[in-house]
Amino acid sequence: MQLNTIKPADGAKKARRRVGRGIGSGLGKTAGRGHKGQKSRAGGYHKVGFEGGQMPLQRRLPKRGFKSQSLKYNGEVSLTDLQHLDQDEVDLVMLKAAGLVGQMIKHVKVIKSGELSRKVVLKGIGATAGAKAAIEAAGGALA
């Protein structure tokens, strides 16, 4: 195989449509645009979502609900997750390495869910009031 023998697969390249080239082509005269009207004119079309003056769908529907984009950067870890870790000092990098939070997460908070019976020191990680009390009761701390 040489570079000068390479060609696309059969049927991969389709000849472009040549419009306005006579009656025999099947796309002569009006060039497949029909007769008259906005869509037959050069430069005559409407913006996306325009429904001919009828109230557009995006304006007819009620506005409700909102999902903050900052949620995809915040993560949660439970006390049970901390219990199963084999490290005593826990930080964001370690949680990502353990697969407890996603790689895009920037802020983590420990929530009081489950039990913690061993000493854990949190570095750069927040905790709810209940989780903080449980960590301190087990001999751990928030650094």
For residues 82 and 136, membership in a common domain is answered with yes
Which strand ranges, in their side-by-side order, compose the sheet holding 126-127?
74-78, 107-111, 126-127
* Two tokens, residue 37: 């009207």
Average pLDDT over residues 117-122: 94
**90: pLDDT strictly greater than 90:** yes
* Same domain, residue pair 88 and 128: yes
Instruction: Report if pTM > 0.75.
Output: no
What range does the domain containing 117 cover?
73-142
Can you tell me the mean pLDDT for 125-130? 95
Note whether residue 99 is domain-resident. yes
Three-state SS string over 25-72 comes to HCCCCCCCCCCCCHHHCCCCCCCCCCECCECCHHHHCCCCCCCCHHHH
Element (H, E) at 84: helix 79-84
